[in-house]
Amino acid sequence: MGPKITYSPEQDIADLNGKVFFITGGTAGIGRLTILELAKHNASHIHFTGRNKKSADSLIAEVGQIAPNVGITFYECDQTSFLSIENVAKSFLSSNPTRLDVLICNAGIMGGAPGLSKDGYEIQFGINFLSHALLTKRFIPLLERTASEQGEARIINVSSSAYEMQKGGLPFEDLKTTQGDLGMFGQWARYGQSKFAQILYTAELAKRHPTITSIAIHPSVVWTGIIEELPFLDRLFIKAATWGQKMPLHQGAYNECWAATTPRKESIQSGSLYYPVGVKTELTKPAADEKLWAELWDWTEKQLEGSHA
């Protein structure tokens, strides 16, 4: 049984007219659910990425049925590739948008065999963290402009309670390897490491770009396709490790929706981590290390220096 939820999108999301959203990984799972809720509440335009054009077309058609006045644009994207991320950013920004209210870094993978991204980074770290750091870097000027003109803009990093598995710093020297020597549960150590990085980066974003509200969230445990596609033993591990946290699929996007739409003055503190729904949660000691925040930021900037479309 998961956490008791009193949040209701129907009652708690205000009219979103005028607001522009960009969400990665929107074709399935909680990303898709979030897009549908944003559309139901009259967002002006929703931009989203994904790998599956057929699923994207289906989502666009569904949005057209429930909210015909909401603009929606799909960008096919390979999160393992900096070049693909750059092309998405270039395509979005070349359309001359005048505002971007909320960037939701939602796309990700979980577990799986050791591997490398197309740019040579541990695959989960590359997809879950670095690809979003690059997209964030490209969108910061527009987000800051929106914050100045509209009063606020947000960056939401969809992390996980699995970040708590990281008991120390980050192995920067090993992040350009598959890290295939971490033992039987190495895939989960690599997953937790990527989610740990998202939380550190969010905290440092809040310090370096204070006009943007930057938060990390844990969406709870939702049995979406990302889990269903895992091998049996991995699914068994997740069930055991997250006993009592599972939420129904229809509630899986609630924390993401809350983070994207709740008025900041009510409850959001930039740089913080929120568990479902809207519960500010103290960071673990390793994640609260401000020197590590800065170290990750500097390392990330160096990794992204050579990236260009």
The token pair that represents 251 in the structure block: 């509630």
Q: Give dist(CA 96, CA 115) in Å, integer.
A: 37
Q: Name the catalytic one among 75, 195, 201, 254.
A: 195
Kindly report the three-state secondary structure assignment for every residue of 217-248. Answer: ECCCEECCHHHHCCCHHHHHHHHHHCCCCEEC
Active site residue 191: yes
Q: Is 74 helix (H, G, I), strand (E, B) or coil?
A: strand
284 burial type by CB count under 10 A (0-12 exposed, 13-18 middle, 19+ buried) = middle
Active site residue 195: yes
Partners of 221 in beta bridges: 246
Hey, CA dihedral for 12, 16, 19, 22, is it positive or negative?
positive
| Residue type, position 146, single letter | T
Q: Name the catalytic one among 191, 201, 254, 274.
A: 191
Counted residue by residue, the chain has a size of: 309
Q: Is 211 helix (H, G, I), strand (E, B) or coil?
A: coil
The token pair that represents 215 in the structure block: 């938060």
Q: Do 198 and 128 contact (CB within 8 A), yes or no? A: yes
Which residues carry out catalysis? Answer: 191, 195
